[in-house]
């Protein structure tokens, strides 16, 4: 597209109640510097200059289709950009097909997700301080406990809640998601419901983790409150979150906002073991799974909710005998974060193998590891194509993305 990227905007919707923005949590200078060999990035849409006059450019808003192929961007989006000079792509989550038959485009995704997107220094320092405090007492596990109102409403898993809570969930679903007939028993039986805190505890106990296990919880406000947490806390009393480890003023004021989530992300990334409890449409969990795999195949416990569902349903009906052994059999068939080739329907964001892992003795040249002087080579290429007058061109094109 030969486009310039305007710094992305973050979705500051009603769920987050946070307008920190991209520049409020990410290291912008690092983002621009890391991607300078791939795309030119600016802070805002530049003015157009023509015949000695300056004109403000207003971006034309366009909605990309979900999982759009590259051809859509090279035709529909490019046509709109040429016509309007600037386009604003929103929403942009899952708006480019995951499977692209171009390894370099896939590697660019990894450069963005695992290198360019780095939180601001004070967030990194705060996260590392929490990890140091946790690790001073030994190994620790992090759990993304996705038992919050938005995800429960999305999944349509209402029946375990009292009538008033069900009313709240149904209202939230009606206001935020497309209408769809969802039957709890059917959803539960195929693993479409988030694991309850008690189910998470029972899985860990079946895997022989004991009550001395140190657990860091990355979670928003749990729906249903303490009555759902009490069974889990009974099994695993050594629970922490970012506020309990570091009750600083910054986190206290933003515990449920973007800064709190950024700290949770980094602690989960650096933990000895990570366990997501609902990795369906959860960008947080999926990105962490991919990030941990990319940086050294770090241990991950990933419950197979579909295979576990009949075991939990049988337990609720009184079939206790053999429960832990049945859970262990299911869990031993899962991948614990080790290298494995991605097979559909596994997401590229959870497993970028093999595209983002170079090979010392590749069968294809595209899989070859870069030379030791790759930065010098890229700098030379950048200088050769750099046009000192590009910032004043009247036909420059800019695209803005909402992330």
Task: Report, in this order, helix, strand and coil percent for the chain, each rounded to 5.
Answer: 45, 10, 45
Q: Identify which of 205, 277, 256, 255 has the alpha carbon closest to the alpha carbon of residue 234.
A: 205
For position 393, what pLDDT does the model report?
37
Same domain, 220 and 142: yes
Q: Is the pLDDT of residue 341 over 90?
A: no
Looking at the structure, tell me whether residues 62 and 139 fall in a common domain: no
Q: Please, which pLDDT band fits residue 391 given cuts at 50, 70 and 90?
A: very low
What average pLDDT is seen over the chain?
Answer: 88
- Of the ranges 12-21, 196-205, 278-287, 354-363, which one carries the lowest mean pLDDT score? 12-21
What are φ and ψ of residue 200, in 5° steps? -60, -45
Same structural domain for residues 84 and 130? Answer: no
- Measure CA 124 to chain center: 17
Looking at the structure, tell me whether residues 270 and 130 fall in a common domain: yes
Cα–Cα distances (Å) from 365 to 112, 202, 355, 360, 378, in that order, read: 23, 48, 12, 11, 18
How would you classify the pairing of strands 53-55 and 48-50?
A: antiparallel
CA distance 7 to 340: 34
d(CA 263, CA 309) in angstroms, rounded, equals 32
What whole-number distance in Å separates Cα of residue 262 and Cα of residue 389? 38
**Residue 33 scores a pLDDT above 50:** yes
Contact status, residue 128 vs residue 122, Cβ threshold 8 Å: no
> Using CA atoms, how far apart are residues 201 and 312, in angstroms rounded to an integer?
12
> Which string of DSSP letters, residue by residue, matches 349-383?
TT--TTTTS-BSS-SSGGGBPPPTTHHHHHHHHHH
Give the domain-ending residue among 67, 101, 116: 116
pLDDT in tens, 178-216: 888 889 899 999 999 999 999 999 999 999 999 999 999
Residue with tokens 């600016």: 42
Query: In this predicted structure, what is the pLDDT of residue 321?
Result: 94
CA–CA distance, 306 with 367 (Å, rounded to integer):
35
Q: What is the pLDDT of residues 217-243, one digit of tens each?
A: 998 888 988 999 999 999 999 999 988
Cα–Cα distance for residue pair 219/211, rounded to 1 Å: 20
Residues 105, 211 within the same domain:
no
Amino acid 246: pLDDT: 82
- d(Cα 287, Cα 350) in Å, to the nearest integer? 6
Average pLDDT value for residue range 115-135: 95
Residue 373 reports pLDDT greater than 80: no
CATH number at residue 213: 3.40.50
The predicted structure's pLDDT at residue 105:
93
Structural domain that includes position 94: 5-116
Total count of domains within the chain: 2
Is the model's pLDDT at 277 over the cut of 50? Answer: yes
Gyration radius of the chain's alpha carbons: 24
Do 280 and 310 fall into the same domain? yes
Q: How would you classify the pairing of strands 398-402 and 215-218? A: unpaired
Beta carbons within 10 angstroms of residue 97's beta carbon: 16
**Domain end residue (candidates: 94, 116, 138):** 116
**Is residue 225 a contact partner of residue 150, using CB atoms and an 8 Å limit?**
no
Q: List strands edge to edge, sheet with 398-402.
A: 41-42, 4-9, 398-402, 86-89, 60-62
User: What is the longest distance spanned by two Cα atoms in the chain?
Assistant: 83
Question: Whole-model pTM?
Answer: 0.88
Helical packing angle, 258-270 and 283-294, nearest 10°: 30
The tokens for 60 are: 């034309």
Q: Are residues 111 and 219 in the same domain?
A: no
What pLDDT was estimated at residue 377?
80
**In terms of C-beta density within 10 A (0-12 exposed, 13-18 middle, 19 or more buried), how is residue 141 classed?**
buried
Q: Do 138 and 97 fall into the same domain?
A: no
Question: Same domain, yes or no, for 107 and 225?
Answer: no
Average pLDDT in the 11-25 region? Answer: 73
Q: Is residue 168 part of a domain?
A: no
Using DSSP bridges, classify how beta strands 4-9 and 41-42 pair: parallel, antiparallel or unpaired: parallel
Quick one: 80 and 125 in the same domain? no
Contact (Cβ atoms closer than 8 angstroms) between residue 234 and residue 351: no
- Note whether residue 155 is domain-resident: no
pLDDT tens digits, one per residue of 279-307: 766 689 999 999 999 999 999 999 999 99
Is the pLDDT assigned to residue 395 strictly greater than 90?
no
pLDDT in tens, 54-63: 888 899 999 9
Q: Are 21 and 125 contained in the same domain?
A: no
39 and 125 share one domain:
no
């Amino acid at each position: 597209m030969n486009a310039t990227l305007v710094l992305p905007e973050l979705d500051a919707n009603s769920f987050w109640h946070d307008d920190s923005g991209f520049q409020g949590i990410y290291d912008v200078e690092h983002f621009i510097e890391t991607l300078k060999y791939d795309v030119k990035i600016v802070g805002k849409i530049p003015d157009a200059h023509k015949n000695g006059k300056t004109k403000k450019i207003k971006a034309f808003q366009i909605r990309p289709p979900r999982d759009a192929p590259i051809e859509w961007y090279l035709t529909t989006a490019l046509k709109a950009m040429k016509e309007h000079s600037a386009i604003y792509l929103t929403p942009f989550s899952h708006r480019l097909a995951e499977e692209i038959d171009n390894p370099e485009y896939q590697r660019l995704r990894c450069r963005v997700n695992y290198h360019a997107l780095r939180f601001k220094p004070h967030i990194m320092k705060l996260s590392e301080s929490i990890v140091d405090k946790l690790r001073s007492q030994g190994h620790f596990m992090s759990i993304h406990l996705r038992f919050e109102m938005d995800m429960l409403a999305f999944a349509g898993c209402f029946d375990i809640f009292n009538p008033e809570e069900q009313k709240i969930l149904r209202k939230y679903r009606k206001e935020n998601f497309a209408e769809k007939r969802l039957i709890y028993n059917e959803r539960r039986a195929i693993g479409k419901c988030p694991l309850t805190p008690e189910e998470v505890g029972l899985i860990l106990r079946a895997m022989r983790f004991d009550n001395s296990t140190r657990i860091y919880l990355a979670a928003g406000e749990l729906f249903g409150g303490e009555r759902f947490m009490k069974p889990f806390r009974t099994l695993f009393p050594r629970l922490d979150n970012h506020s309990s480890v570091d009750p600083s003023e910054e986190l206290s004021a933003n515990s449920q906002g973007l800064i709190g989530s950024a700290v949770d992300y980094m602690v989960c990334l650096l933990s000895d073991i990570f366990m997501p409890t609902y990795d369906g449409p959860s960008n947080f969990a999926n990105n962490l799974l991919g990030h941990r795999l990319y940086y050294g195949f770090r241990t991950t416990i990933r419950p197979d909710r579909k295979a576990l569902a009949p075991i939990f349903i049988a337990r609720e009906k009184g079939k206790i005998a053999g429960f832990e052994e049945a859970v262990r059999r299911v869990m031993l068939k899962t991948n614990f974060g080790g290298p494995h080739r991605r097979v559909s329907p596994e997401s590229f964001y959870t497993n970028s193998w093999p595209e983002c892992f170079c090979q010392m003795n590749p069968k294809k040249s595209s899989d070859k590891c870069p030379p030791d002087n790759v930065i010098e080579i890229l700098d030379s290429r950048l200088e050769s194509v750099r046009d000192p007058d590009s910032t004043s061109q009247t036909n420059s094109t800019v695209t803005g993305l909402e992330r």
